[in-house]
Amino acid sequence: MDKKMIVSSSPHVRSIESVQSVMTDVLIALFPVALMAVLLFGYQALITMVISVVTAMLVEALWLRKKDIFNDGSAAVTGLLFAMVLPPSPPWWLVVVGAAASIIIGKQVFGGIGYNIFNPALVGRAIVLVSWGGYLAGNVWSPPQPFAFGADVSAVTGATALAGQGEALSYSLTQLFIGTVPGCLGETSALALLVGGAWLYYKGHIDWRIPLGYLGTVFVMGVIFGGGFYDNHLMTGLFHVLAGGVMLGALFMATDMVTTPVTPVGRLIFGIGCGLITMLIRIWGALPEGVTYAILLMNAVTPIIDNFTVPKQFGGVKKNA
C-alpha cells in the first residue's frame, strides 16, 4: 500500500478510440469504393491503389524513421485517397511521385499529422495535375468495362461526363449513380461512396454539415445555373451532384479532419464554400472540374473560418470571436 500511485489530471478513463482506430475506420469506409473501382475498372485500378498506398506508407515511415510502416494509419489513408483521384491506370511512376508528394509536400513539411493546412491527397493531385496534366485530362480516361476484371482499360478511351455537355447527355443518372462511367478511380460510383460515407457517419467521424453543405450547394447551383441540359433543371442539379468528383470530395476529401474547421458553423460554411467554388469553376471556369481546387482553397481559409465562428457557449449571450 506504500506504492506510489499515478497522479494525473482527470478524466481518469478514456474512450478506446485512437488516431489509429479512426484512420482504420476511414480505410474501412473506403473499402466499398475501392472494391467498386476494381469491379468497374479491373485489376489495373487495384495495382494503382496498391502502388499509391505502399508508396505513401513507405515514404512516411522513411521520413519519420519509424519501423512500423502502418503507424497511425494516416499515410495509408492519404495513399488510398490519392489513388482515388487518379485515372484507373496512370503510369506507375506518376502514382509513386504523386503519392510521395502527398506525404512530403502535403503533410510532412508542415510538421506531420495534425499540422498540415491542405488535404495531402489533393496536394498530390494538384502537383501531378500541374506537372503532367495530360495524363489526367478528361478525354483520355478509360470508360469502364464493368465487371470485366481482366480487361485492359487503357486500350479504350472516353470522355468523362463533365468534359462536355454533349458527353454528359450520353450517361444516364443511374449510370452516374452506379458508377459505370469514365472518371477517376474512386469518384464514379456515388453508390459506393454513400455506403462508405454512411459508415463514417455511423462511427461519428464525420458530421452532416460538410457533406450536406457541399452537395446541397452543388445541387442548388446546378438547378439554377446548370442550364437545364438534362431532362429538366432538377435533373441537371442532380447530374452535378453525381458527376465528377463532387461525391468523393464531399464525403472523403472535404471531411478530412485535419484540414477543415472544428466549429459546427465553420463546417457548414466550409461545405457551402466548397460547393460554390466547385460550381463556379464548373460553370464559368476554364476547367471541366473544380473539386480539387475548391477544397484546397477552402483548406486555406479554414483557420479564418474557425476564428470567426466560435460558438456561443452554454447560456452565453454575447457573441465574440
Partner 1 sequence: MGSTVFKGGIHPDYHKELTATMAVTAMKAPEKVVIPLQQHIGAPCEPLESIEVGTEVKIGQKIAQSSGFVSAPIHASVSGKITAIGPYNHPLGRPVEAITIESDGEEKWDDSIKPAGNPDNLTAEKIREIVREAGIVGLGGATFPAHVKLSPPPEKKIDIVVINGAECEPYLTADHRVMLENPEEIVFGLKMMIKALGAEKGVIGVEDNKPDALKVLEQEVAGEDNITVASLHTKYPQGAEKMLIQVTTGRIVPAGGLPLDVGVVNHNVGTAVAITNAVREGKPLVERVLTVTGSGINRPQNLMVRVGTLVSDVLEHCGGLKEETVKLIIGGPMMGLAQPSPDIPVIKGTSGILALTGEDVYLAESSPCIRCAKCVDHCPVQLLPTSIALASEHEMFKKAEKLHAMDCFECGCCAFVCPSKIPLVQWIRIAKAEIAKANKK
Based on the shown chain and the rule CB under 8 A, indicate whether residue 311 belongs to the binding site for partner 1.
Answer: yes
13 lines the binding site for partner 1 (CB under 8 A): yes
CB of 274 to partner 1, least distance (A): 17
Q: How many residues of this chain bind partner 1 (CB under 8 A)? A: 49
CB 53 within 8 A of CB 79: yes
Q: How far apart are CA 118 and CA 109, in angstroms?
A: 11
DSSP result, 30-59: HHHHHHHHHHHH-HHHHHHHHHHHHHHHHH
Q: What would the x/- binding string for partner 1 be over residues 202 to 231, using CB under 8 A?
A: --xx-x------------------------
Q: What is the DSSP letter of 208?
A: S
Q: How far is the CB of 267 from partner 1 (least distance, A)?
A: 7
Work out how close the CB of 319 gets to partner 1 at its nearest, in angstroms, rounded to a whole number: 11
Phi, psi of 191, deg, nearest 5: -60, -55
Q: Which residue has the cell 500541374?
A: 130
Q: How far apart are CA 84 and CA 95, in angstroms?
A: 11
Residue nearer to partner 1 on the CB measure, 188 or 263: 263
Comparison of 91 and 204: residue with beta carbon closer to partner 1: 204
195 binds partner 1 (CB under 8 A): no
Q: Which of these segments, 10-18, 121-129, 132-140, 181-189, binds partner 1 (CB under 8 A)?
A: 10-18
Q: Does residue number 68 form part of the binding site for partner 1 (CB under 8 A)?
A: no
Nearest Cα neighbor of 290 from 246, 225, 241, 229 is: 246
Residue 213, C-alpha cell as written in the block = 453543405
How far, in whole angstroms, is CA 111 from its chain's centroid?
Answer: 21
Q: Which is nearer to partner 1, 71 or 142 (CB)?
A: 71
Angle between helices 74-84 and 92-104 (to 10 degrees): 130
Write out the three cell numbers for 305: 473560418
Nearer to partner 1, 77 or 176 (CB): 77
Residue 34 near residue 80 (C-beta atoms within 8 A) = yes
Q: Hey, is 7 helix, strand or coil?
A: coil
Stretch that binds partner 1, among 111-119, 145-153, 189-197, 246-254 (CB under 8 A): 111-119
Q: Of 242-301, which residues contact partner 1 (CB under 8 A)? A: 257-264, 267
- Piece of 15-23, 42-50, 213-221, 224-232 that binds partner 1 (CB under 8 A): 15-23
Nearest residue (CB) to partner 1, 284 versus 314? 314
The residue type at 141: W
130 near partner 1, rule: CB under 8 A = no
Site residues (vs partner 1, CB under 8 A): 1-15, 17-19, 21-22, 72, 74, 112-115, 204-205, 207, 257-264, 267, 306, 310-317, 320-321
